[in-house]
Amino acid sequence: MALVSVKDLHKSFGELEVLKGIDLEVEAGEVVSIIGRSGSGKSTLLRCLNQLERHDWGTIVLADQRLDGAAMSPGELSQNVGMVFQSFNLFPHKTVVENVMLAPLVVKQTPRGEARRIAESVLAKVGMSEKVDAYPAQLSGGQQQRVAIARALAMNPKVLLCDEVTSALDPELVGEVLRVLEELAREGMTLILVTHEMKFARDVSDRVVFMHQGRIHESGDPQTLFTQPRTPELSQFIASVL
């Protein structure tokens, strides 16, 4: 049984149908990269997975539990699905460690000492132990994004969604964030990434999914997919990004 199982997912914004029936299964520990042109629906798919967007039709099952509709409260959902955004979205009025502690304290009602311990351990994992008392504005983009990853990990989610997490970064800062994700992948974290980093998608993913016009157009293991695309759309896409 797959950890995440998406069946016949549809989503429209007004007249515009963005997702036209998505079927996707992700096993525990699998790293899946979603690639495709902007407007192909990849970010919307990700945002449906944690219900930032309500889909119109279809089901999303996570570890045998429906998570769509009213089946799961935001509190429960956050302990199953973590998310990291392109624009970091750290809380600017809170220090690094407070950012990471907030959800465990407020949502899980973790005692303060315990929450602090969790925060320090996830911050160590992303290499940000030195900066626990800094404010986000004092950090570089790469550091902010690593804190954002730690903040998501503090809720101990079963799957981590990454929405173009390196797109807002200066080129020299991309590596430090990708290394953290690579490390997470190696530890067996289930990752679903929307990414423009083709090298990362090829080297780290177990599977790459190419989305085109609201559908999964092609998917497979990264080596085959990148070297022997079956459809002209994917060939064109690969040619345009490499």
Partner 1 sequence: MTDFTLWDIVRNLLLAGRWTVVLSLIAFAGGALVGLVLTLARMGGLKPIRWLIRLYVDLFQGTPLLMQLFLAYFGAAVLGFDVSAWTAASVALTLFTSAFLCDIWRGCVEAVPSGQWQASRVLGLNYLQSMRHVILPQALRLAVPPTVGFSVQVIKGTALASVIGFVELTKAGTMLNNAAFAPFTIFALVALGYFILCYPLSRYARHLEKKLYGAGIR
Q: Which residues bind partner 1 (CB under 8 A)?
A: 50, 52, 73-79, 81-83, 85, 87, 89-93, 102-103, 106-107, 137, 151-152, 155
Answer for the pair 62, 4: CB distance below 8 angstroms, yes or no.
Answer: yes
3-state secondary structure 70-121: CCCCHHHHHCCEEEECCCCCCCCCCCHHHHHHHHHHHCCCCCHHHHHHHHHH
Helix 141-153 with 171-186: angle, nearest 10 deg: 20
Q: Least distance in Å: CB of 233 to partner 1? A: 30
Q: Least distance in Å: CB of 11 to partner 1? A: 17
Give the nearer residue to partner 1 in terms of CB position, either 69 or 230.
Answer: 69
Q: Least distance in Å: CB of 213 to partner 1? A: 25
Q: In what order do the strands lie in the sheet with 4-13?
A: 16-26, 4-13, 57-62, 65-66
Q: Is 228 helix (H, G, I), strand (E, B) or coil?
A: coil
End-to-end CA, the chain: 35
Q: Name the nearest CA neighbour of 126 among 150, 110, 102, 106.
A: 150
CA 21 to centroid of chain Cα atoms:
20
Q: Least distance in Å: CB of 14 to partner 1? A: 19
Answer for the pair 34, 193: CB distance below 8 angstroms, yes or no.
Answer: yes
Give the nearer residue to partner 1 in terms of CB position, either 96 or 225.
Answer: 96
Q: Least distance in Å: CB of 210 to partner 1? A: 25
Q: Least distance in Å: CB of 21 to partner 1? A: 25
Give the nearer residue to partner 1 in terms of CB position, either 6 or 72.
Answer: 72
C-alpha dihedral, 225 to 230 to 234 to 238, nearest 10°: 50
Give the nearer residue to partner 1 in terms of CB position, either 104 or 229.
Answer: 104
Give the nearer residue to partner 1 in terms of CB position, either 78 or 143.
Answer: 78
Give the nearer residue to partner 1 in terms of CB position, either 51 or 225.
Answer: 51
Give the nearer residue to partner 1 in terms of CB position, either 84 or 128.
Answer: 84
Q: Least distance in Å: CB of 141 to partner 1? A: 13
